[in-house]
Amino acid sequence: MPPKHNQAASTTTAAVAGKKAPTTTMTSTTKRLFLFASTLIPMLAFLSFQIPSFVTTDVVCSWTETFFSDAALDETKSKYAEVANAAIVGTQLYNRTMHWGTYRPNVLMGVKNRAPHPLLFGIAWYDAAGRFDVKHNAVESDRLMFRWEFHDGQFFGVQRIVDYENRIEFMIDFVKAPDGQGWDVQATARRIGGSNTPITFVVYFAHEGGAQKFPLQSISGSTQHKAAANDDERYLRSGSGDVVGVAGAIEPPLAATTPTEAALPLIPFVATLTDSCQAFAANATMPWTEFAFSKPQDDAWNFEMRRTPGRVVADRSQHHKTNANNVMVFKKEFTSDFRIQVCLRELPSTTTRSSSGTLLETDATTPQPSLLSSPVLPACQLTRLVNFHKASFEAKFDKLFLSHIVSGRPASSSQSYSPDVTKRLEYLQKHSKALKQMASSALSSLIGSIGYWHGKYLVVPEEVDEASDKRGQFVTSSSAQRGGQIDSETTFSISLFSGAPSRAKFPRGFLWDEGFQQLLMYRWNSEVSKDVIAHWLMVAMDPATGWIPREQILGKESRGRVPREFAAQHPQHANPPSMVVAVQSLALSEHKTADDIAFLQRILPKLTAWRDWFHKTQCGSSPNCHNSRRVFPTSSSSNDAQQVNTSEFQYRWRSRNGFHLLACGLDDYPRPVCFADGRPSNSGGATVSTGNGVQQTTTHRKEKHVDLMSWMALMTETIESIKSAAIVSSNEEQSEKPKSRASIPWEELLVKLHWDAKSNRFSDVTGCPEVSSKETGKSENEGEKKKLPNFRGYSGHFSPYVGYVNLFPLLSLTINDKKLALSVLRLARDELNTPFGLASISLHSRSLLAQYGQQHESYWAGPIWININYLFLRALKLKYIELLGSEAEEFYHTLRSELLENILKQYIATDKLWENYHWESGKGLGTAPFTGWTALIVLILGEQY
Ligand SMILES: *[C@@H]1O[C@H](CO)[C@@H](O)[C@H](O)[C@H]1NC(C)=O
Ligand SMILES: *[C@@H]1O[C@H](CO)[C@@H](O)[C@H](O)[C@H]1NC(C)=O
Ligand SMILES: *[C@@H]1O[C@H](CO)[C@@H](O)[C@H](O)[C@H]1NC(C)=O
């Protein structure tokens, strides 16, 4: 006899099949055969005893899948395709399908709904002996591996988690109903190497909205309430191995038609929990232990799982005595392999339910829109749905990213590969299975890191920013230490839907990262991608100024996990508008639909406001230009380079903090600190401590940054291309492209301001006073140093460093001149290229760092970063191979094969993608797993630019 819950499952199968599809192909004879088999297999399992019951269930499932079709299942499958096609961002249907998701990237496995006050679901586990930490948060550790093996961002995901400390491996399936009104999570745990140490597994539900408005109720029929030792909480113990769970209500997805969220009716739901482990093992029918308590609705949701003797509770510090509870925790100990299934179903609001045993009492007359309307999805159907989604994922993935041959000459190429490239491609070919696995889990993990947050963020007062800018250094970002100037909260709440670069280290939205992540996302699912872009541009932007904060640390839970100096946002600091690259790709795409064009039109005013904010606040013509009323000049007034007032188009990233410039995204990338005499200079410079007691003066307020000017060019060009995309769509008949309009001559401006003719490269302008006529170079400054002992610093007009910023005029596709483009290409190839990709600065520049006393952490001063490498390959493929010919094409293949080979090698060695890679060894550096922009390797593999 199978354990009780399996029986329940089979009964439900029959019920569902009967109700949904009277013409099911299961005749009574085959059913009898089937039931015989389902009984026989557990009997065999009983004989061998060690086999967990879900293994036999799976065997029976795959038999039935082979021999019987399931009409209800087929109907559900076709519904997925139907919904996927119709769920266009902005529609009610889209909002419905995206309502639930794995939107808690900070935990190992969590689900929540997109609402200001979401319901949180999560799991945790720990060893009964207490030797290791509770496993709950996604943390960086050698002893913990977690990654999404599949995730389509819309309907399903499969995550693998290996806990090497407790020697247990989880495969976690997540499937949503096609209409988004329910979901199932199935976690299958296997012990590694026959380990049988007791593991306590925890499942919890918690409603952030507080217990008064959103009470959760226990729905286990046979529950006996016991007075708890501590009467702060109710201690419940279910009396049998029956299905247990919770019932409650959630906020609905936001709707366009409802003026306020408060006016929307709440949606009732039930969630159930079932489990199975070793058949007939003594503990197989042990009840779940259940705790319930109340957490007040405020911002302090520090939802940490802790182990206290005999039970796990979540942050008990703020309990309130109340009859209503909004946190429910279930736990159970397992000594063998086991499987847990959690099913959540939204109910029609007419459904009545009693406080106990109500699982199947949904209103029978309401139409059942999908298979997942059944209270518990039978194990077989769940497995078959997951298999169906896996197959669809693989088909789509192969078509998008693997149709390109890894090896062999592309048809368009007129040359054969160099021996080096051929060798690298052979390596990839040899490890093509690992390559494919890496690529699909990179994409899946990127999608699986998408989260949803709601709340307010902190902003630093403008005067504080202004004072720091003058000094070139933050005194401290702690408001207390700034003499009581308080960081203020935004007056409005913000909802953010965004990916996170690393679930372990950076589980929240970052503006600079997100632009790159959307390059991948938009090719996978353009609707989800447009939703993310819209959240950043339309919701997160300060409507009064056009500023977008670089990091979204919304609510106190997020703030608690962020170092204080990064928690508050600076309304005068920018961050690279990489989102524009994704928008540009969409605008340039040949396959864009009318919906896409409408979307571009919708975000156009926001893009313009953002560009204008940059222009006003990040100006570099004079130290105080950001205080003047600067307006972005209209293109018509400035179409001739000779007539353009160059001081209108000089840009400087504000936020200089000693040797760091966080706003530019390249934190410690060397921007020279000037040679000076130790006194505050008269040019708004600042005193910078070099760490050995020496005070230096910078003249950073006269700096001009070539990367920022290139971003400005890219933003402006993208805005123009959206305008012309709209023109093209409105004159579909005209095959001719609209004549390129008079526009700002960015290329000429870059040459005028940033072309270092002596060194033959684009470069940062330092703003340094030129103390010597021999201004640049290596040893010329020796004489000056003698005059001023202890002093090091730089005095040239252009930066002496060679690295990523010198490439930006090419990365932004601004350069059209062949000679200029060629010199940038050669700079990259001859000075930055390593066998593993383009390094952030050249080897020679690394030696200059010491010479000029330039401090750094080898973060953006050496390592190889995939986002910039991707932009370089993109620039070659989109424009410069055509312009420069075989020299560019050769380097394209070299660079692409270097990146692919090394990232795969490191993945095979460590099982992880890394934040960046070492310039001499190729080894992974920084945070791992880092599945943000490092996942661009998928686009590099698929040659999608
Ligand atoms: C979908 O949700 C968004 C908020 O995420 C809301 O602004 C929009 O109005 C909703 N659309 C519809 C049709 O309800
Ligand atoms: C059942 O669980 C208890 C603790 O809950 C444990 O002491 C016992 O060893 C378990 N039995 C088996 C057969 O695993
Ligand atoms: C150029 O622009 C700057 C500031 O934007 C202004 O001060 C200056 O007068 C302008 N020069 C000319 C020649 O228009």
- What band does 314 get if pLDDT is binned at 50, 70 and 90? very low
Residue 708: inside a domain, yes or no? Answer: no
Highest mean pLDDT among 513-517, 693-697, 771-775: 513-517
Residue 215: inside a domain, yes or no? Answer: yes
pLDDT over threshold 60, residue 222: no
Residue 181: inside a domain, yes or no? Answer: yes
The CATH number linked to 198 is 2.70.98.110
Give the pLDDT confidence score for residue 296 in this predicted structure.
73
Q: In 3D, which of 875, 943, 931, 872 has the Cα closest to residue 903?
A: 931
Instruction: Give, using CA atoms, the residue closest to atom 14 of ligand 3.
Output: 645
Average pLDDT of the chain to the nearest whole number: 80
Residue 479: inside a domain, yes or no? Answer: no
> What are the tens digits of pLDDT across the range 363-395?
333 334 445 555 567 777 888 899 999 999 999
Residue 312: inside a domain, yes or no? Answer: yes
User: Which ligand 2 atom sits closest to the C-alpha of 281?
Assistant: 13
Highest mean pLDDT among 228-232, 522-526, 566-570: 522-526
Compute the distance from residue 337 Cα to the ligand 2 centre, in Å.
14
Q: Which residues line ligand 3 (CB under 6 A)?
A: 621, 645, 647-648
Residue 896: inside a domain, yes or no? Answer: no
Among 196-205, 366-375, 482-491, the range scoring the smallest mean pLDDT is 366-375
CA dihedral (765, 770, 774, 778) positive or negative: negative
Q: Is 539 in the pocket of ligand 1 (CB under 6 A)?
A: no
Q: What is the 3-state secondary structure (H, E, C) of 643-692?
A: CCCHHHHCECCCCEECCEEHHHCCCCCCCCCECCCCCCCCCCCEEEECCC
Is residue 843 exposed (0-12), middle (13-18) or buried (19+ Cβ within 10 Å)?
A: middle
Q: In 3D, which of 774, 826, 818, 784 has the Cα closest to residue 802?
A: 826
Compute the distance from residue 640 Cα to the ligand 3 centre, in Å.
16
Ligand nearest to the CA of 259: 1
pLDDT over threshold 70, residue 737: no
Give the pLDDT confidence score for residue 639 in this predicted structure.
53
pLDDT over threshold 80, residue 846: yes
Among 220-224, 750-754, 900-904, the range scoring the smallest mean pLDDT is 220-224
Can you tell me the mean pLDDT for 803-807?
A: 98
Residue 633: inside a domain, yes or no? Answer: no
Ligand nearest to the CA of 87: 1
CA pair distance 856, 861, nearest whole angstrom: 7
* 70 compared with 39, residue with greater pLDDT: 70
Joined together, the tokens standing for residue 513 give: 């990262």
Q: Is 262 in the pocket of ligand 1 (CB under 6 A)?
A: no
Domain count, the chain: 1
Work out the number of other CB atoms within 10 angstroms of the CB of residue 475. Answer: 12
* 505 compared with 859, residue with greater pLDDT: 859
> What are the tens digits of pLDDT across the range 97-140?
999 999 999 999 999 999 988 999 999 999 988 899 999 999 99
Q: Is 259 in the pocket of ligand 1 (CB under 6 A)?
A: no
- What band does 295 get if pLDDT is binned at 50, 70 and 90? confident
pLDDT over threshold 80, residue 318: no
Compute the distance from residue 451 Cα to the ligand 1 centre, in Å.
17
DSSP state of 737: P
- What band does 730 get if pLDDT is binned at 50, 70 and 90? low
> What are the tens digits of pLDDT across the range 47-104?
555 677 777 777 777 777 777 777 888 888 899 999 999 999 989 899 999 999 999 9
CA pair distance 134, 140, nearest whole angstrom: 14
Q: Provide the domain limits for residue 108.
A: 78-345+377-390
CA pair distance 629, 648, nearest whole angstrom: 12
Highest mean pLDDT among 252-261, 308-317, 523-532: 523-532
Residue 425: inside a domain, yes or no? Answer: no
Among 638, 642, 648, say which to mutate for ligand 3: greatest number of ligand atoms within 8 Å of CB.
648
Give the pLDDT confidence score for residue 209 in this predicted structure.
86
Residue 875's H or E segment, with its range, is helix 866-875
Can you tell me the mean pLDDT for 10-39?
A: 48
pLDDT over threshold 80, residue 185: yes
Among 103-117, 188-202, 511-525, 833-847, the range scoring the smallest mean pLDDT is 188-202
One DSSP character per residue, 358-385 reads: -TT-S-TTS---SGGGSSS--HHHHHHH
pLDDT over threshold 60, residue 480: no
Of all residues in the chain, the percent with pLDDT exceeding 90 is 47
Give the pLDDT confidence score for residue 10 in this predicted structure.
35
> What are the tens digits of pLDDT across the range 669-707?
999 887 654 443 333 344 555 555 545 555 788 899 999
Among 158-172, 289-303, 447-461, the range scoring the smallest mean pLDDT is 289-303
pLDDT over threshold 60, residue 584: yes
Joined together, the tokens standing for residue 698 give: 């910078």
